[in-house]
A = this chain, B = another copy of it.
Amino acid sequence: MSKFDNLVQKLRQHGERLTIQRRLVIEALCSSDEHMTINDIQHYIRTNHLAHELSEPTVYRIVQRLKDLRLVSQTDMAGTGIVYQLIDNPPHHHLICLRCGCIIDVNDNYFDDLRQRFLHDFGFEVRIDHMAMYGVCAKCQQAVDEQA
């Protein structure tokens, strides 16, 4: 089953109404493996479904709903702005270079240890849908070293 159909089915299960607008937002989010801003979503729809341009409030309300249903996660990209992405199973995460902005995808199992230790030590069940961690990538470290 496609990502899209999967999500539509989940919405149905929750008794949510399937409006054209919701389908469009889901389609937009499915179109990219990476995160999208509200603007990106609007832009995707404007480009691919010219007749159905969505207003800002509508997009905000729909992603808010999808967030409440835990189908979408929200991340603040260090002031770049707030981005949204589908929560996939298992989730994947990002290392973001503060210098060049490049993004490295990280498998979820890197966080398994941490999850277990927090559960063991604090009884705290960490819920990581999408983690963005910042730092300096290999290339940029070289560049910095050469400067020195």
Contact = CB atoms under 8 A, between A and B. Distances in A.
Interface of A: 74, 76, 78-79, 82, 95, 97-98, 104, 106, 110-111, 113-114, 117-118, 122-128, 131, 133-138, 141
Contacts of A98: 127
A104 B122 contact: yes
Q: How many copies does the complex hold?
A: 2
A135 B141 contact: no
A104 B111 CA distance: 18
Contact of A118 (B95, B113, B126, B128): B95
**Interface pairs A-B: 4 shortest CB-CB:** A123-B138, A76-B76, A126-B135, A127-B135
A66 to B, nearest CB: 14
A95 B124 contact: yes
Given A74-B78, A110-B117, A124 B135 contact: yes
Given A74-B78, A113-B113, A128 B133 contact: yes
